Structure 1
């Protein structure tokens, strides 16, 4: 029987069942090394080598189970897990780009990704050009010698939406590798491989893990050439996740669909509530009909997620006062957990950008990013309402 439903695949995909034990869930294999050679008749092979497991930096059964579950949801043939999302990003890019190559990225990215592209890659002789989301969506791309285009499907922190369908078609036509960081969408709301993406990256710390208790990254692709290169770079950089990290992410994936339904519902209603407040200048959320990217979002997303950014009237002092008066959202970085989190990107996630870089990207001091959790909507709205009234 072929299991098709998202939640069914989330529960049953990638499971490691051992008949001699009769386990219901994948065990945590905290092994650093394994018997080698293993001449047992029915071995479970390490996907990275197609042979017996040898060393957990290379491959681990629990990690492999997480990768299998992720593959079933992302609809890719291959998956590689990492110790962090940045581990996934750096290893993937470095496995493909070489000195003298040129890549194109959007200029609104997760702060550490922006830092890696704008500062570090140049020292390796890799040329990085950046354009606005609008120019990327309109394919205002001057150079034609790009080896790679890198985008976030919903860029952090302004919640624009990339037209992956259009960009994917362009990349296929021009033989350009398309990498999509789809962290803010999650595999529940979007599968970029359907739109022509070659490689999909997630910070599994966010929606995939879903409980703010794990650091993990994961990459999916359909081409063995990319897969082999990424696996080799993971081994070389030592960015493999340990078994317990992988287990927490594997467990988080089982409820991803259920959680995302609530994130989507709460996110849309909170965005609409904030938009109606006279204390707020502007709200950034893919699902708002008044939003600049709403039509693109409808065409590229199945749901709009729980990430909202908005600008309060006033400056940094008003932003601090608002956050301090909240009772439910906790002031903290990261996102995608069951609990609501709130932060000021200029002070946290994008603090490594210069003031001029933030200004060009629209990241002002009064910009606040809210990760809406799965709490009861009425409680969230009431809390936001009372905090806004105290400004």
Structure 2
């Protein structure tokens, strides 16, 4: 039988149905604890332990259902959820302590990840070297020095794209563990495990949930995740049942939402590119974007994130933000609503000027998470706000 389509899997995979009750959607198991030992014939088992459910920090049926749905969309044999995206990243990296020695990562990481890599991991024996994504793509580093490569599919906020096929082949050939944060892509636009990654990380707070009302993280792999499961249990980074229910509900429309995100972002990027108050636009879907060919090779769609520089420097950028109405000035991304932020004021406010220069994050840069609103309305509002930059 052929593999079912993305939307079919998004709706049906992982659903926990009990014919005794006839429930159509997975129920919320709002339990801290469960009967244990459970001697009931045919009692359900936690796949992470192979034993009966005992305590929701270890495992919960609603959470397991969510993990199975996510694994289906990612094309992964195994998946774990976490209370936040950072909880997933830290649990994964801490599970490598004592096994791996040196990590290579990119400069353009999510700020909290970069801080954890530079300031915390070395204390636990994981040395981290940092290079640009362009040097990573061109393999401008000593392959023999590293046990792990950690990177992101698309960088924030400069929208640089990882050549995952090339790096995946390199890592597989040299026995290097490859970890990819694919939050900006979502499983709709890219499945890194199919391109050579060993582990995939997602902030489920973003596109997977899609409604800006929950926090979560995910790690998936085709290899055993028991060590990461133990780390999650020890750190207490487990997702609760109610959050899992909301995220599972949001995930059912991921394909529909991403199709609109992709379409809207492309239309908005083209509109911005033609505006006289815009200096430049970073969006890999644009044919003249420097990462377009890499994106075409590695992604099925170009996503809903873009950034652009406005005239007038930091003053112009802030004037633009003041001119927005329905587009909220807020951090985070991936929700149905459009959000705009100035990296200089939020995600990169604490980054040194020299590092921002390397990352190509300028004071006049705006990051835009394009939602699923009607594109004509988005363009009209953006045009009005841009008229205020001078």
State the TM-score, normalized to the length of structure 1.
0.97
For 2:252, which of 251, 254, 264 is the aligned residue?
Answer: 254
1:204 counterpart = 2:204? yes
Q: Which residue of 1 aligns with 2:77?
A: 77
Aligned partners of 1:110 and 1:350 also within 8 Å: no
For 2:252 and 2:162, how far apart are their aligned partners in 1? Answer: 27
Q: Which residue of 1 aligns with 2:192?
A: 192
Using the TM superposition, give the Cα deviation of residue 363 of structure 1 relative to its aligned residue in structure 2, in angstroms: 1.3
SS at match of 1:267: helix
- Displaced runs of 4 or more, over 6 A: none
For 2:303 and 2:86, how far apart are their aligned partners in 1? Answer: 22
Aligned partners of 2:97 and 2:125 also within 8 Å: no
- The equivalences for 1:1-391 within 5 A come to 4-98=4-98, 101-224=101-224, 227-391=225-389
For 1:355 and 1:100, how far apart are their aligned partners in 2? Answer: 32
Q: What are structure 2's unaligned runs of at least 5 residues?
A: none
Greater CA deviation, 49-58 or 359-368? Answer: 359-368
CA distances 1:98-150 after superposition (whole Å, capped 9, x unpaired): 38710001110111111111222122232111111111111111251311100
RMSD: 1.2
CA distances 1:301-324 after superposition (whole Å, capped 9, x unpaired): 100111011111222211111011
Q: What are structure 1's unaligned runs of at least 5 residues?
A: none
C-alpha distance 196-3 of structure 1, shift in aligned 2 (>3 A)? closer
State the TM-score, normalized to the length of structure 2.
0.98
SS at match of 2:340: strand
Instruction: Give the number of aligned pairs.
Output: 389
Aligned partners of 2:329 and 2:341 also within 8 Å: yes
For 2:348 and 2:260, how far apart are their aligned partners in 1? Answer: 28
Aligned partners of 1:282 and 1:310 also within 8 Å: yes
Using the TM superposition, give the Cα deviation of residue 40 of structure 1 relative to its aligned residue in structure 2, in angstroms: 1.0
CA distances 1:44-103 after superposition (whole Å, capped 9, x unpaired): 110110110011011011110000000110000000000000001111111113387100
Aligned partners of 1:112 and 1:352 also within 8 Å: no
For 1:298 and 1:111, how far apart are their aligned partners in 2? Answer: 27
SS at match of 1:302: coil
For 2:106 and 2:278, how far apart are their aligned partners in 1? Answer: 27
